[in-house]
Amino acid sequence: MVDVSCFAEASKSNGVRARLYWIDGEVDPKKTLAPNQSPNLDVRIPKLTFDGDEAWFTNAGKNYKKQYVLVLEANLRVEDAREFQVRLASEAPAFLFLDGREVAFAEEGDPEIEEFEADADHVALKIIQSVNDEPRWLDLRWRVDEDEPFEAVPTESLTSDDFYFRPTNGGAKRLADEEDRPGKYEKVVGVFPGIDLYPVRPPGVEVPVGGLDTLPDGRLVVASFDARRLRAPVPQEEPDGELWLYSNLDDDDSAAVQRELIAENLYEPAGVCVVDESVFVSQRDEITRFDFDATKDRWRPTTIASGWESNDFHALSFGLIHEPGQGGHPGYLLMARGTGLGLRKNPPNHGSVWRIDLSKPAGENLQPITGGHRTPNGIGFGPEAEIYVTDNQGEFTPANELNRVVEGSFYGFRQQTSGGGAASLFQDRETTPPTVFLPQDEIANSPSEPLLIPEGWPYAGQMFVGDVKYGGVNRVFLEKINGVWQGAAFRFTQGLEAGTNRMAFGADGSLFVGGIGGDHSSTWNWVNPRGKKTYQGLERLKPNGQLVFDLEQVEVTSKGLRVRFTKPIDEQWLGSTSNYRVSQWRYVPTPNYGGPKVDERELYVTRAVPADDLMGVDLEIEGRETGHVIHVVTDPQAEDGARLWSTEAWYTLWEIPDK
């Protein structure tokens, strides 16, 4: 059993974490930042006294002298000085919080002095500064003795978390406003009402899930490993992965679930695929097949593919699916190989989808078929048995992606080659754009496994997409226009116990969802509504028959978009163009982490034609452009009074039909 309850917290170093959020417009210090937004700048600074001209304000040659919100966070060590005074001064409005309590507010250069008594040897310190113009200086000082002068807080008394890299996202950020609610500019809250949630892991058992699949007899195969032990830059030396079989899953009481350990000492098993009675597992440096040996009553391992190199903790072997063969051929496995994060140069063929021919021996059966993926943490089948792989925002990847796998294609991520690193496979070819963009912080943050939704489930024929950092499960509607796949992304559910990493449908139609999280970066764990980072989970979802009022799908038409709902809506409401907010933007890949929205603008809805069944509307829209994401926001009530579960859709437009 992997016990994550005793894992060490992320390491810390002296200094303060500074995150800057650029606001395109006037900053109201009384408003908070809208939740779940990546900052424009995320650095460690040495002290809590600055004048605004320091080098850390400059990121990639851009100096932030506009409106912004600056969030400063640190642990303040007060071992011998639990009772102290603080003196906060700031030209721009600034709030000081200690252990979550507002202690001081300063603006226009006037200092405020307050007393504080700590309950422990360390105090959580946060300052939020709202800047509309220069100057933007800030100065926090403290003292223990009232007869002594205030002094700057020394760097050695301040610590903040270490991260190998600090993901950021360009472009303007939002302040929360009165329109925000769960499902509208925010994540949905709780479990989708049309499904019921059941725990699978027995009480007290911790399960950080790397892979899931089901055996023909209904048993669940679970691969687990401790992602919190991943530390940059090198892979961990000792294996801690395990392979378990879960049975007696029909009982809704998780205490009745039975588990059997069938393998251990695996290296980061990040994918499981069952083919007939065999279990295939993708490890860091090999793919292993496990077969049950009835004579010895144990599962026997066989190496199916190996021979590649791993020199970075982040270069995992993500996911595993089986593509059937023809004429007696045993078929192929497909796996996505991740890349390192930059300090160590990538070996050949990383950032690729690999095909493994099961008719050939290990060492002779591996073929990389795509290139240019960054963190493809999930591979699965979509409509018409097409294969899809996700990717995480990063360098040359301005937003998260769902990509259709086309052999010989390059998907945009370019590996560093200076110092002997291998170039991304096929990077001399034209970049294949993503099938669907999953905009950072709006609908995704660290997408994982894609999975086709079967009959018997809401939105059958669409795809579920998990997310480790955003949490929960999203969904994607796909359509083929002029021979090109494209479509829309929607929120589906939150309310799970960890960030979703792997999913598998069981024989009874249940969806098993496995969660994982790590401390190797600030993006690989989901923070639950109680503010706690989550690192593991295993649950079962089942449809309950309740019809939920929601956006069903968004299709492109020759004149605009066709929006479909799950329940009828008042005809007059549907026909009013003012009830739809539509905007568009595009992305430009750069070597920087993530990317801002480019050419962002509102679009004018000129006409809204309700469907005959009042469950949809055709929107005629001026100014649509291919190569853009079209964002639709609408918030009707159903005729039965129900409120829309989630109000937004993000349609990636590559082709426009003639009719």
Residue with the larger pLDDT of the pair 11 and 478 = 478
Question: 153, exposed or middle or buried, with CB in 10 Å at 0-12, 13-18, 19+?
Answer: buried
CB 160 within 8 A of CB 75: yes
Q: What is the pLDDT of residue 7?
A: 35
Q: What is the pLDDT of residue 8?
A: 38
Q: What is the pLDDT of residue 59?
A: 61
Q: Which pLDDT tens digit goes with each residue over 606-638? A: 999 999 999 999 999 999 999 999 999 999 999
Least confident range of 71-85, 566-580, 611-625: 71-85
In the structure, what pLDDT confidence band is assigned to residue 467 with cuts at 50, 70 and 90?
Answer: very high
Q: What is the pLDDT of residue 6?
A: 34
- Residues 637-642: what's their mean pLDDT? 97
In the structure, what pLDDT confidence band is assigned to residue 5 with cuts at 50, 70 and 90?
Answer: very low
Q: What is the pLDDT of residue 641?
A: 97
Q: What is the pLDDT of residue 167?
A: 78
- For 121, residues 6+ apart whose C-beta sits below 8 A from its C-beta are 77, 78, 79, 82
Residue 521 has pLDDT above 80, yes or no: no
Residue 369 has pLDDT above 50, yes or no: yes
Average pLDDT of the chain? 93
Name the most confidently modeled range: 17-26, 262-271, 308-317: 262-271
Domain 551-653 fold is Immunoglobulin-like (2.60.40)
Domain with CATH 2.60.120.1560 in the chain: 12-177
Residue 486 has pLDDT above 80, yes or no: yes
- Residues 654-658: what's their mean pLDDT? 97
Q: What is the DSSP letter of 384?
A: G
Least confident range of 30-44, 48-62, 293-307, 321-335: 48-62
Least confident range of 170-174, 412-416, 429-433, 649-653: 170-174
pTM of the model: 0.93
Determine the Cα–Cα distance for residues 135 and 137; give it in Å rounded to an integer.
6
Residue 243 has pLDDT above 50, yes or no: yes
Determine the Cα–Cα distance for residues 77 and 143; give it in Å rounded to an integer.
13
- For 13, residues 6+ apart whose C-beta sits below 8 A from its C-beta are 44, 159, 160, 162
- Residues 345-362: what's their mean pLDDT? 94
Look up the CATH architecture of domain 12-177.
Sandwich (2.60)
Domain 195-543 fold is Neuraminidase (2.120.10)
Q: What is the pLDDT of residue 251?
A: 80
Backbone angles phi, psi at 310, to 5 degrees: -125, 120
Dig out the tokens for 230 from the structure.
């991943």
In the structure, what pLDDT confidence band is assigned to residue 421 with cuts at 50, 70 and 90?
Answer: confident
Question: In this structure, are strands 409-410 and 370-371 parallel, antiparallel, or unpaired?
Answer: parallel
- Residues 475-483: what's their mean pLDDT? 98
Domain with CATH 2.60.40.1220 in the chain: 551-653
Percent of the chain with pLDDT over 90: 80
Q: Which pLDDT tens digit goes with each residue over 171-189? A: 889 999 888 999 999 999 9
Q: What is the pLDDT of residue 73?
A: 96
Write down the residue that tokens 């809704």 correspond to.
Answer: 252
Domain with CATH 2.120.10.30 in the chain: 195-543
Q: Which pLDDT tens digit goes with each residue over 381-420? A: 999 999 999 999 999 999 999 999 999 999 999 988 877 7
